[in-house]
Amino acid sequence: MNHQPIEGFSKLNKQGKIDWLVTEYLDGNQEYQNILKQYWNEDADLQKLHEEFSENTISNFYMPYGIAPNFLIDGKLYALPMAVEESSVVAAASKSAKFWLDKGGFKTTIINTEKLGHTHFIFKGEPHKLQHFFNFKLKKKLLEATEEITANMRNRGGGILNIHLIDKTADLPHYYQLKASFDTVDSMGANFINSCLEQFGKTLREEVAKEEEFTQEEKDSLQIVMNILSNYTPDCIVRAEVSCPIEDLKDDSGIAPEEFAWKFKQAVTIAEIEPFRATTHNKGVMNGVDAVVIATGNDFRATEACAHAYAARDGQYRSLTHCTTDDGIFRFWIDLPISVGVVGGLTNLHPLVKFSLALLGKPSAQGLMSVLAVSGLAQNFAALRSLVTTGIQKGHMKMHLLNILNQMGATEDEKQYFVNYFKNKTVTHHEVISEFNRMRGQ
């Protein structure tokens, strides 16, 4: 079927959008209308609220909202909200929390909270003249021009921390940056930062135009390319760690604590030197981070981009977590660059986000940074613990068992049978199907 483009799709009402999609792409099958409508919220006001979060919304896409309890973080117990569809994530986080509960729990340190943004521009004049102009005139003008924008943020203890002129002409001819650092306190701060940067671009253009030291040709050469925050925030960073004497690393798999510590450290070291392993290793870290990021209404795409850029900051992609076993002490930690907020955006609108933040004790942005780093570290610990002992499939596939059975249309009694059947076995897709068919005489 040759589909036709549509003009004014966004102007159709919700039913109109659905009718067009079903007719144009789904052969008029009304079953698909029913699928969309069964996910509408019965509360019309709540449904409208969700629809206004995004553009062209026709339904809601549900994700499981789970709880990982027993997290002891800096001496305080937490239950972490996790919005995630992968079956083993919440279970693994909970298992890690329980493991470290009687060993002092997780400790966190906020290393820095600096966020960044840039005005990117082209200038074909003399570099030393531009630097002198920035040092003695422009920087002051930029701060003055943004005083109204930054007033409320400064009252909360944040604002613009510094501005630098960066010469990038070695990478791209005539390319410069105004690199600004910000403290946005409890907000993620994207709109605030971008507003400041757009004013920087405007002020830069105005001040260059009237600067007597520049020739007319130099003035005419100025081109503002863009003003935008960076989601790479290597100086907005939190450390989370766990430690205990090696003899306390008793594992229910039967492996000796010393062997466990040795194998665990080897696994982390491999991820530090081997990008193929580091990618999967860090994906596991982000399983834990993203689940809490989503549950608290923050931007998991920004979180992912920043973490992976940081993992490759020296030119090779490496593990985000690290481990030592010196002097009989096992230590495992993560330094996670992460920019999040607890005010603004969905935090004031989405009811489940409000619940998540209340569940966490209405943390500051720094408090949430700590929780997120802990969640990532816990997830990684659980994954490595499985890998160096029983293997990843035993626990992962056991959690995946119900998904397989639901796909096969198993009854509740049949599900219970399979839970018992695989109690002491490793679940495989093949064996589930074989045993299911045997039960039903197929």
Catalytic residues: 86, 283, 299, 396
Sheet holding 223-229, edge to edge: 159-167, 175-183, 115-122, 223-229
Vertex 286, ends 283 and 291: CA angle to 5°?
A: 130
Q: CA-to-CA distance for 312 and 157, rounded, in angstroms? A: 32
Q: Which two tokens stand for residue 45?
A: 């006001």
The answer to whether 268 and 323 are in contact (CB under 8 A) is yes
Exposure letters 55-94 (e unless 16+ CB within 10 A, then b): eeebbeeeeebbebebbbbeeeebebbbbbebbbbbbbbb
Q: What angle do CA 76, 78, 81 make, to 5 degrees?
A: 160
Q: How far apart are alpha carbons 10 and 55 in whole angstroms?
A: 8
- Round to whole Å and give the CA distance between 14 and 54: 13
242: left (phi over 0), alpha (psi -120 to 50) or beta: beta
Q: 422 phi and psi, to 5 degrees?
A: -100, 15
d(CA 79, CA 70): 6
Integer Cα distance of 187 and 152 in angstroms? 12
Measured distance CA(18)–CA(378) in Å, rounded = 42
Those residues whose C-beta lies under 8 Å from the C-beta of residue 31, and which sit 6 or more positions away, are none
Contact 347, 296 (CB under 8 A): yes
CA contacts within 13 A on the Cβ side of 109 = 7
Q: Where are the alpha helices (DSSP H) in 81-215?
A: 89-101, 127-133, 139-145, 147-155, 190-209
